[in-house]
Amino acid sequence: MMDTIPLRQIDNRERKFCLSYPLNDKRLLASIEKVGVIEPLILLEGPGASLVTGFKRLESARQLNIKKVPVVRIQLSEKDALLFAIHNNLTRGFNIIEKALALEKMVNMGFPQEEIHDVMALFSLNPHEKVLRTFLSIASAEKPLKDFILDYGLSMKNIEYLLRFEKQEQKTVMRTLTSMRLTESYIREILEMLHLAKIKQGSFDKSILKDAENAEDLRTRLKKKIHPGLSSLENKLEQIRKIAALPPGIDIKVDPFFEKEYIDIVIRTKNEQDTKELIRKLNEVLEEGHIRSIFELTKGRVR
C-alpha cells in the first residue's frame, strides 16, 4: 500500500540494492522540481526500511529539500528484493557500470551461477565466467575510472585494456586521455600500444604520456617505440617522395605495412598536354631510380 513518509526515515547510506550510477540525474532533478516525486520509492518491509528502488529519486528529493516522499513497502527476502530491483530497472536500461554493480551484488549475496548467468543474458552479456570477472572488476573500480568509462562510452575492449593497468597507471592514462579529444577507436589504438610497449620493455613508460603534446604526437611516439622498423620504412618512403618531387598529378601509393608486392601509381590528368607532361615526369622519376628505391622498401631489402 502506498504511503507518504518523511525523507529522514529513509537511510540514504544504505545501498544494498542500489543499482544506479551515477545517482545525480539532472533531468530527473528538473522533473521532480516541477512536479514532485510521482512514482513511489520501494522500501523493504521491516526494521531499517531498506530502499529497494528509487535511489535517484531519493537523491533528487534530498537535493531539492523535499520533506516527504511516496513509498510502497514490500515484503521480500533480500535476494528477491535484489532481483526485484534488477527487473524493475530493466525497462529504463542499465549502463555498463550499473550492470557491473548488479552482478557484483548478486555474487556477494551468493546467487547460484546459473541465476547470475540468466541476468547476464538479460543484460545482453555473454554469460561466461571471464565476462563476469571483468564486470566484477568494473564494479570494484574507483569512481574516477567508472566516470571515465561512462564519459567516454568506452567499449568492453577498451575497458578491459584500462583494467589491465595498475591503479597508478590507470590514473596517468586517464589524465592524459582526458586532456585530449579522442574517439573510441583512437583510444583503443593508444591503449593497445601502451600495453604492448609495457610488455615489451617490462615496465610502464610514464614519460611517453607526459611528454606528448597532443593525441597525434602521442600516437607517433608510441608507434616509433613499438614499430621502429615500420616507422623507419615510412621515413625512408617520405624521403624518396621528397627527392622525387612528384607533381600533384602523380601519386604513388604504397601498402601502409609494406606487405604488398606491388605499388599503385595514380596519374590524375585533365587533358592530353597534362598527360604528356605527367608521363614525362614519371619517366624521369623512373630513370632516376626512385621507383626502384620504393620497391626496395616493399621487398624488404632495405634496413
Partner 1 sequence: MNSQRVEFVEAKGSIVRDCPGTKHHICCGYKTIDLVEGCTLSCSYCIMKAYLNTPNIRVTNDIPYILSQVEDAINQETVHVLRFGTGELSDSLALDRKLDLNRPIVEFFGQKRQALLELKSKWASIDHLVPYLNPYTVISFSVSPQQLIDSEEKRTSPLYKRLKAAKKAQDRGCFVGLHFDPVVIYDGFEKDYHYLIEDIRRILDPEKIIWISLGLLRFPPMLFNHFIENKRKNLLSGEFIRGEDGKYRYLKMERIKVYRMLYEKLKDIDENLFIYLCMERNDVWHEVTGLEIANNEGLIGLFDKRIKNLYGGTL
- Smallest separation (angstroms) from partner 1 to the CB of 293: 14
- Smallest separation (angstroms) from partner 1 to the CB of 118: 21
Please say which residue, 135 or 258, places its beta carbon nearer to partner 1: 258
Radius of gyration of the chain (CA): 29
- Smallest separation (angstroms) from partner 1 to the CB of 298: 8
Q: Would you call 289 helix, strand, or coil by DSSP?
A: coil
- Smallest separation (angstroms) from partner 1 to the CB of 170: 16
Is residue 199 at the binding interface for partner 1, with CB under 8 A as the rule? yes
- Smallest separation (angstroms) from partner 1 to the CB of 254: 12
Please say which residue, 33 or 255, places its beta carbon nearer to partner 1: 255
DSSP labels for 184-240?
HHHHHHHHHHHHHHHHHHSS--HHHHHH--SHHHHHHHHHHHH-HHHHHHHHHHHHH
CA within 13 Å, CB half, 10: 31
Please say which residue, 157 or 276, places its beta carbon nearer to partner 1: 157
Is residue 228 at the binding interface for partner 1, with CB under 8 A as the rule? yes
- Smallest separation (angstroms) from partner 1 to the CB of 187: 15
Query: Of these, 92, 242, 270, 303, which contacts partner 1 (CB under 8 A)?
Result: 303
Please say which residue, 18 or 237, places its beta carbon nearer to partner 1: 237
Burial, 103: exposed, middle or buried (Cβ in 10 Å; 0-12, 13-18, 19+)?
Answer: buried
Site for partner 1 in 270-299 (CB under 8 A): 298-299
- Smallest separation (angstroms) from partner 1 to the CB of 255: 8
Query: Of these, 202, 207, 248, 270, which contacts partner 1 (CB under 8 A)?
Result: 202
Is residue 225 at the binding interface for partner 1, with CB under 8 A as the rule? no
Backbone torsions φ then ψ of 271, nearest 5 degrees = -155, 180
Please say which residue, 76 or 302, places its beta carbon nearer to partner 1: 302
Q: Which stretch binds partner 1 (CB under 8 A): 31-39, 62-70, 214-222, 225-233?
A: 225-233
Q: Cα–Cα distance between 20 and 52 in angstroms, integer?
A: 11
- Smallest separation (angstroms) from partner 1 to the CB of 236: 11
* CB distance 297 to 236 below 8 Å: yes
DSSP β-bridge partners for residue 41: 71
Size of the site for partner 1 (CB under 8 A): 26
Is residue 230 at the binding interface for partner 1, with CB under 8 A as the rule? yes
Q: Cα–Cα distance between 38 and 232 in angstroms, integer?
A: 65
DSSP 10: S
Give every CB contact of residue 177 below 8 A, 6+ residues apart in sequence: 148, 152, 187, 190
Q: Would you call 295 helix, strand, or coil by DSSP?
A: helix
Three cell numbers, residue 202: 617490462
Angle subtended by helix axes 113-122 and 129-140, to nearest 10: 80
Site for partner 1 in 234-273 (CB under 8 A): 257-261
Is residue 196 at the binding interface for partner 1, with CB under 8 A as the rule? yes
Query: Of these, 206, 229, 251, 264, which contacts partner 1 (CB under 8 A)?
Result: 229
Q: Cα–Cα distance between 99 and 120 in angstroms, integer?
A: 8
Please say which residue, 153 or 228, places its beta carbon nearer to partner 1: 228
**Binding residues for partner 1 (CB under 8 A):** 157, 160, 164, 192, 195-196, 199-200, 202, 226-230, 233, 257-261, 298-303
